[in-house]
Amino acid sequence: MKELQIMGQKTALHEKHQQMNGKLVDFGGWEMPINYGSQVDEHHKVRTDAGMFDVSHMTVVDVTGADAKEYLRYLLANDVARLQQQGKALYSGMLNETGGVVDDLIVYLMTEPDVAGEWFRVVVNCATREKDLRWMADHTAKFDDVALTERPELSIVAIQGPNALAKAESVLTESRVKLIESLKPFQGVESEGWFFARTGYTGEDGLEVMVPEEYVADFWQALSDAGVTPCGLGARDTLRLEAGMNLYGSDMDEKISPLAANMGWTIAWEPAERNFVGRKALEEQRHAGAQQKMIGLVLETRGVLRSHQKVIINGEEAGEITSGTFSPTLGCSIAMARVSADVAGTCHVDIRGKLIEVKVVKPSFVRNGEKVFS
């Protein structure tokens, strides 16, 4: 099997993954665990108890300097001025001039808002790291005082599931537990070089913890001893798809507008005078009316929807699946698909040459362990 021969970059948890029988595969140039035995079992653990993921391959960039806020208000389609509380997080697209998505990211306000020394932390995808860093650096040119600092020495562990907070807290000091208990959803807090954020990519409550890499192996082991199940990136994908969360490169890319990727809610149109990269193109698109939209598909009979399968509505080809999988929580297949905005009616998918009828729903399937469509 190929995974034994790959020579990718390794996270600080690489040895732990091997010890815990992680099946390592190439993931954007990194050797990452796809599962530790059964992806489906890991998926269920996150929906019913607590699982943990090594996501240290993701790229952390700190944005500092007197112009940090104005820079990010220009760089991102969502508006960091909306962050009005220390630690609050915002999901945003970083767009190009034609309104395509360069990457999607999370930005945290690391200080109180509007204070001297106000700064932000941005987390971007690993597969797009070099492109993103170049893009971000290029766009500092029109600002006097912005510094970008990559933080490769921070490992990231995502602990997710209904029991994630309690089990994570059981291995942390009392002062850190207090900090975590003070967090609202989508908020983070720093603690002596660690960063605890109540965010995730699974549709469950939980934490994403940034840990200086020298501590991460012990932290991972302690979590495992406390009953948190190690989960691979396979389960992460089925979990995020059930939650209706986009995957960059599959559900959107540089040629796709956020309006065609179910990301309209991440565009801050107001205040109208805020100029951001891609704004002009998006306004033109909005004026012309959306050409394409994202829908959710559910296959209630046997079979599995996969990316690139053709979607047929009222007998005409209307688009294709961008992400499809078997949903372990629902016991049937689900998918996100991009189709022409103006079509409605009976929907079929071409699965290996057969036209199979599917149900159309909003592209969100499971939240907090429960089915969200009817």
What residues make contact with another protein under the rule CB under 8 A? 1-2, 4, 34-35, 38-40, 234, 238, 302-304, 306, 325-326, 328, 352
Instruction: Find the shortest distance in angstroms from Cβ 303 to another protein.
Output: 7
- Residue closer to another protein (CB basis): 161 or 234: 234
DSSP-derived letter for residue 374 is: -
- Residue closer to another protein (CB basis): 39 or 78: 39
- Residue closer to another protein (CB basis): 132 or 251: 251
Instruction: Find the shortest distance in angstroms from Cβ 39 to another protein.
Output: 5
Instruction: Find the shortest distance in angstroms from Cβ 129 to another protein.
Output: 25
Phi, psi of 29 (to 5 degrees): 90, 0
Instruction: Find the shortest distance in angstroms from Cβ 368 to another protein.
Output: 22
- Residue closer to another protein (CB basis): 51 or 328: 328
Quote the CA–CA distance of 326 and 356 in Å, as a whole number: 15
- Residue closer to another protein (CB basis): 71 or 326: 326
Q: DSSP string covering 146-212, please?
A: -EEEE-TTEEEEEEESTTHHHHHHTTS-HHHHHHHHTPPTTBEEEETTEEEES--SSSS-EEEEEEE
- Residue closer to another protein (CB basis): 87 or 328: 328
Strands 154-160 and 147-150: unpaired
Quote the CA–CA distance of 222 and 210 in Å, as a whole number: 15
Instruction: Find the shortest distance in angstroms from Cβ 357 to another protein.
Output: 17
Beta bridge mates, 247: none
Whether residue 307 contacts residue 241, with contact meaning beta carbons closer than 8 Å, is answered with: no
Instruction: Find the shortest distance in angstroms from Cβ 89 to another protein.
Output: 30
- Residue closer to another protein (CB basis): 287 or 352: 352
Beta bridge mates, 157: 54, 209
Number of Cβ within 10 Å of residue 266's Cβ equals: 18
What does each C-alpha distance from 52 to 49, 63, 133, 227 come to in angstroms? Answer: 11, 27, 27, 10
Compute the C-alpha angle 137/282/253, nearest 5°. 60
Instruction: Find the shortest distance in angstroms from Cβ 56 to another protein.
Output: 23
